[in-house]
Amino acid sequence: MIKILKYGEVANEDIFSRVVPEFDVTAIVSDIIENVRQNGDKALFEYCEKFDKAKLDSLEVTKAELDEAMNLVEPEFVEVLKKAAANIKKFHEKQVRHGFIINDENGIVTGQKVIPIDRAGLYVPGGTAAYPSTVLMNAIPAKIAGCRQVVIVTPPSKDGKINPAILAAANIAGVDKIFKVGGAQAVAALAYGTESVPQVDKIVGPGNAFVAEAKRQVFGRVSIDMIAGPSEILVVADGKSNPKFVAADLLSQAEHDKLASAVLVTDSEELAQAVANELEVQIPQLERAEIARASIDNNGKIIVADDLKTVIEIANEIAPEHLELCVDNPFDYLDGIRHAGSIFMGRYCPEALGDYLSGANHTLPTSGTAKFSSPLSVDDFVKKTQYTYYTGEALSRVAKDIDRFARKEGLTAHAKSATVRFED
């Protein structure tokens, strides 16, 4: 049964506590990465056989396999994928940045270029939980940014095949290459390259603890989007909210995995109890009831505060991955939310809208990192380079200023590089 906590009557550490994984995979992941670095494809084939129980002849998905997948996926779902892709494209095209140039002083030009990274690597979970939505959410922004090559890695099933829905989504998103490899070994392959898998410049996408740790360890060799923790939802709801809706929304994240956290913050004790009761009704009806039960019992909580102002303050302190505003006139509260990965507004905007169809990205900061980081976007697939141009006459006007500044920092060679040009 979910815990009900009264804000101000229990310790703040109970209110704001977060899930902390109990196992450390650092050493295991380090060994996997080193093996892939040293042995390339050979290590990948061995790990596929060991972890995925798949004996492969080739790591790369062929054109024939892509075509077969498009035929295997029901046409109605292909249309849903295309609709979602169109919405994601529409949303992310608004994020495109452009360079600038400043040329308002004689003889001086400064500016900035916005350049796509050459090669993006996308990790897509597979196995028991295959997420074609993740393909669209990661690949489409990379394509809009202008990456020269977009590469997917995803674990195969025992028969050596990739879930057809993942391949269909990759086809629709315009992915360039797909490889049948998952886990920490897939991250290592993207970071260092193998005979088959190209080395990339940035790795994005969610995964289990081994994938997250691998991304942490290869950061610096390549860029990464974020270290994602367990899935989170926080629902802000007033006393007018329908407890069936709220319970269903909490469970939409609780079913992800046993470490997921689902939190309701409300100003109504009546709603708190009604939602707790409704969770007990809905959990047994779920296909993933065992996972949802563990998540709700171990990590779920309902926090009751005196008023909505305090509710919003609590939400900001938690800084959740997903935040629902189940209130009348939700736009009245939007400016008050400072820390959340993605906000869902009103009583008819479940978090699942963002997972699949609205167009906003579903790769989001977790574990309170929404206080300082952002959802995945086109910005994740570009870098910025600045440039400066001065004529000789323009430099002569500031050479003494450079000289003074450099000498103040004890860097006489810096100073000389500016003044030497005018000694004659």
Whole-number Å distance between alpha carbons of 272 and 196: 54
**Model pLDDT for residues 86-106, shown as the tens digit of each residue:** 999 999 999 999 999 999 999
Q: Is the confidence at residue 129, as pLDDT, over 70? A: no
Strands 177-180 and 149-154 turn out to be parallel
| DSSP secondary structure of 211-238 | HHHHHHHHBTTBEES----S-EEEEEE-
Q: Is the pLDDT of residue 239 over 90?
A: yes
List pLDDT tens digits, range 316-341: 999 999 999 999 999 999 999 999 99
Q: Cβ-count burial of 59 within 10 angstroms (0-12 exposed, 13-18 middle, 19+ buried)?
A: buried
Contact 260, 232 (CB under 8 A): yes
Handedness of CA 289, 295, 296, 302 (dihedral sign): negative
User: Is the pTM here over 0.75, yes or no?
Assistant: yes
Rounded CA gap, 398 and 388, in Å?
14
DSSP 154: E
Extract the tokens encoding 192: 């260092």
The Cβ of residue 421 has, within 10 Å, a number of other Cβ atoms equal to 12
Does position 84 have pLDDT exceeding 90, yes or no?
yes
pLDDT at residue 18 in the model: 85
Q: Which two tokens stand for residue 190?
A: 């993207």
Q: Is 321 a catalytic residue?
A: yes
pLDDT at residue 186 greater than cutoff 80: yes
Is the pLDDT at 128 greater than 70, yes or no? no
The arrangement of strands across the sheet holding 232-237 comes to 3-6, 301-304, 261-266, 232-237, 322-326, 342-345
Pairing status of strand 119-123 against strand 149-154: parallel
Which residue type sits at 361? N
Give the model's pLDDT for residue 127.
63
Pairwise CA distance, residues 175 & 170, whole Å: 5
How distant is the alpha carbon of residue 184 from its chain centre? Answer: 17
Q: What is the pLDDT of residue 7?
A: 96
Q: Which of 279, 284, 332, 290 shows the shortest CA–CA distance to 309?
A: 332
Question: What is the per-residue pLDDT for 19?
Answer: 78
Of 321, 324, 351, 362, catalytic: 321
Instruction: Write down the mean pLDDT value for the chain.
Output: 96
What is the average per-residue pLDDT within 293-306?
A: 97
Query: According to the model, what pLDDT value does residue 229 have?
Result: 86
Place of tokens 């093996």: 35
Q: How many residues does the chain have?
A: 424
Residues 294-299: what's their mean pLDDT?
96
DSSP letter assigned to residue 283: G
Residue 257, burial from CB neighbour count under 10 angstroms (0-12, 13-18, 19+) = middle
Phi-psi sector, 258: left (phi>0), alpha (psi -120 to 50), beta: alpha
Q: What's the confidence (pLDDT) of residue 163?
A: 94
Mean pLDDT of 152-172: 95
Q: What is the pairing mode between strands 322-326 and 232-237?
A: parallel
For 156, the enclosing helix (H) or strand (E) is none
Tens of pLDDT, residues 363-396: 999 999 999 999 999 999 999 999 999 999 999 9
Instruction: Give the active site residue among 256, 322, 324, 351.
Output: 322
Cβ atoms of 198 and 119 within 8 Å: the answer is yes
Structural Rg of the chain based on CA atoms: 25
317 in catalytic set: no
Q: What percent of the chain has pLDDT over 90?
A: 94
